[in-house]
Amino acid sequence: MIVRLRFTKNGKIRFIGHRDVARIFERALRTAGLAVAYSEGFSPRPKVAFGLALSVGYESDNEYLDVVLAQPEDLEDVANRLTAALPAGLDLLEVGEIDRHANSLMEAVTSCEWVIDLATDDEAAVRASVDAMIAADRVVITRERKGKTVEDNIRPDLLSLKVSMNPETSTARITAELSTEGRSLRPAEFLGALEPSFEVTRVRRTHQWISHGDTRIEPHEADVSRAAHPNVGAS
């Protein structure tokens, strides 16, 4: 039985790394008494698969983890037991069963939506900069690839850019949908390409999208037979 977990990474815990999250889930699954299937071979590994890594310091409303359970479990029960075992900030939102043949999260997700809060309150300046980027034919950045410096045009990876004001802080905010196909475009790379550069205060992943032609869904809607929603935030 494969379950897809949807969870947040918010607050202080945003400062832990991707591997740390993996280890926390490994322990939480054990504390919750959920037996995870192990790979065969010389050094067996638990069969868990994360989606796209989230950089240290970034928050997220929608993170995903696929877990192969060794035996069938009641989804409601899985949700409640795991919720109790997870630390504050990694809040479980949903548990669904996915098809054995479902695409892995890495393959399936085609883009992510990011909400990026900037330190500046000069919305017009940010808008001008973003508009210039949208108007450009090519936006070239340099990246390291196998130890070599290469130039990449990221313009095709900019799927949507919107500028607004964050009402709480009265500072400028960019909502960006960035492609994850091929070499996934990171928020930091996009921000580095803006002219002039702006100081960033907070980055949050709000959605991960799976696009098929004109329709797009989120991973918890894909190949999911049943879903259970725990009480969000209860622990």
> In the complex, which residues of this chain contact other proteins (CB under 8 A)?
12-13, 15-17, 19-20, 24, 26-31, 42-44, 56-57, 85, 87-89, 201
CA distance 76 to 92: 12
CB of 19 to other proteins, least distance (A): 8
CB of 12 to other proteins, least distance (A): 4
CB of 23 or CB of 145, closer to other proteins:
23
Residues 105 and 52: their CA atoms lie apart, in Å, by 8
Residue with Cβ nearer other proteins (104 or 120): 120
Strands 59-68 and 200-212, bridge-based pairing: parallel
Residue 88 CB, nearest approach to other proteins (Å):
7
> Residue 99 contacts by C-beta under 8 Å, 6 or more apart in sequence?
2, 223, 225
CB of 158 to other proteins, least distance (A): 24
Q: Measured from the CB of residue 27, what is the shortest distance to other proteins in angstroms?
A: 3
Residue 22 or 128: the one with the smaller Cβ distance to other proteins is 22
Give whichever of 56 and 150 is closer to other proteins, judged by the CB atom.
Answer: 56
Q: Which is nearer to other proteins, 27 or 226 (CB)?
A: 27
Element (H, E) at 100: none
Question: Helix 75-85 vs helix 18-31: angle between axes, to the nearest 10 degrees?
Answer: 120
Least CB distance to other proteins at residue 15 (A): 4
Are 202 and 59 a contacting pair, CB within 8 Å? yes
Q: Which is nearer to other proteins, 36 or 49 (CB)?
A: 36
Distance (Å, rounded) from C-alpha 134 to C-alpha 138? 9
Q: With CA atoms as reference, report the closest residue to 205 among 230, 187, 191.
A: 187
DSSP codes, 119-167: S---HHHHHHHHHHHHH-S--EEEEEETTEEEEEE-GGGEEEEEEEEET
